[in-house]
A and B are shown apart, each in its own frame.
Chain A
Amino acid sequence: MRANLDPELLQRLRTLPEADAPPYGYGEFSRLRARRRTRHAQAPLRLMAAALAVMIGGWVVKQGLVPTSADVARDPPPPAALSQWQGSMAAEGTSALTVNAERWLSEQPRAAIVRVPTQMAVTELEDQIASIDDQLTAERLSQPHAQQLTLLQRDRAQLVESLAQVRYAQILVAGVQ
């Protein structure tokens, strides 16, 4: 016997509709795949740039141009604009996860001395989020297209999550050291 569930319940389970439609069609998938391939292709270049930056950073520290202590400086509290932005995102139906992740990010201290490759990743993600914020603002000011807004919101949510992952890893590493 395969199961000891009530046959009626089993039937209901097996005839459930699809959970949700896939997020996009093949066209969008191809675009995302191409974007990811480009990122992979650029990885060695980024690694070289990061190594170069580490070497330069090391030289700068060695020359005594920046403080060498690993003191952690807290960022100033998030400006009122950020809170307003978070409020508006919540009002527009942005997922609780994104809003909470942003709140968590804004509460994290920033290391005064950081690992250069990690900081580059953080900066790049923050730049991308800022760029999407600009696009969202422009989209809202022009004639808003619901689909375009949804796509931008989705990209933004993924970037915020990636940023939170990097910052979380940074905190774990700091904890280990």
Chain B
Amino acid sequence: MTRLTEIRVPEGLIAGARAGEAGAQAQIYELLAPGLFGLIRRIVGVRAVAEDLFQDTMMTVFEHLDRYRGEAPLGAWAGRIALSKSLMFLRSPWHRARLSFGSFGDAEAMLPLSYRSLPGPDPEALDVERALSSLTPTARMVVWLYEVEGWSHEEIARSFGRTVSFSKSQLARAHQRLRAWFEPEASQTCAPT
């Protein structure tokens, strides 16, 4: 899996896309789409929602490309847009209303389609996906951004509009939960009495 920050987009492509060249935009789309969709999919869980947010994100990326200053890799900049859209969704009253329709909270439903459709998915990866699905969306997002995308606590805190301690405590709780998932006996032994 490629981290968004590791995706290298040549300057020429960015300039072409800013000028509205369809070819350049298509190449940027092909480079960013898998990572961005993967990030959104893991944060919001439900594929249909992820598709909507992904479409919004890609549109914003191309519409606001002239605001990109090149201070961070394009993938990281686009990742922030994806994160912001995902957060807006998770905070919306509509998201809370959707919970009553019953498709959230079903860990199996939140697993990537590829795991459910392929005849022989990697059982270890499947187990990690299940463990991730058991976390709350916020905790899942913090774990993913910190451990996989390599964001710092300061960056995560800024994105959430919260303090650094929020990020640290979310991560600590998520670690605890993941450890308990993989080593239930050990976590019971270590639990404070």
Contact = CB atoms under 8 A, between A and B. Distances in A.
B87 interface: no
Given A158-B48, A165-B94, A33 B59 contact: yes
A17 interface: yes
A30 interface: yes
B34 A3 contact: no
Interface centre among A10, A97, A165, A168 (most CB of B within 10 A): A97
B146 A20 contact: no
B34 A154 contact: no
A60 interface: no
A97 B48 CA distance: 9
Interface in B27-73: 29-30, 33-38, 41-42, 46-48, 50-52, 54-55, 58-59, 62
B101 A3 contact: no
A16 B125 contact: yes
A13 B48 contact: no
Interface residues of B, number: 51
Interface stretch (A21-29, A50-58, A123-131): A21-29
B163 interface: no
Contacts, number: 113
A13 B101 contact: no
Nearest to B111: A19
Interface stretch (B7-15, B77-85, B154-162, B175-183): B175-183
Given A22-B34, A168-B94, A95 B42 contact: no
Given A26-B25, A95-B48, A16 B182 contact: no
Contacts of B109: 96
A18 interface: yes
Nearest to A171: B97
Contacts of A10: 147
Contact of B30 (A20, A26, A95, A100): A26
Contact of A20 (B25, B102, B113, B175): B113
B103 A100 contact: yes
B128 interface: yes
A17 B179 CA distance: 21
Contacts of B19: none
- Complex A-B, nearest 10 residue pairs according to Cβ-Cβ distance, in ascending order: A97-B103, A19-B41, A26-B26, A22-B33, A22-B37, A100-B101, A19-B38, A26-B29, A19-B112, A18-B38
Given A17-B125, A21-B114, 10 more contacts: A3-B175, A9-B178, A12-B125, A26-B25, A29-B58, A32-B55, A33-B59, A96-B109, A100-B103, A158-B48
Interface of A: 2-6, 9-10, 12-23, 25-26, 29-30, 32-33, 36, 95-98, 100-101, 104, 154, 157-158, 161, 165, 168, 172
9 contacts: A4-B175, A9-B128, A18-B37, A19-B41, A20-B37, A22-B33, A33-B62, A95-B103, A154-B51
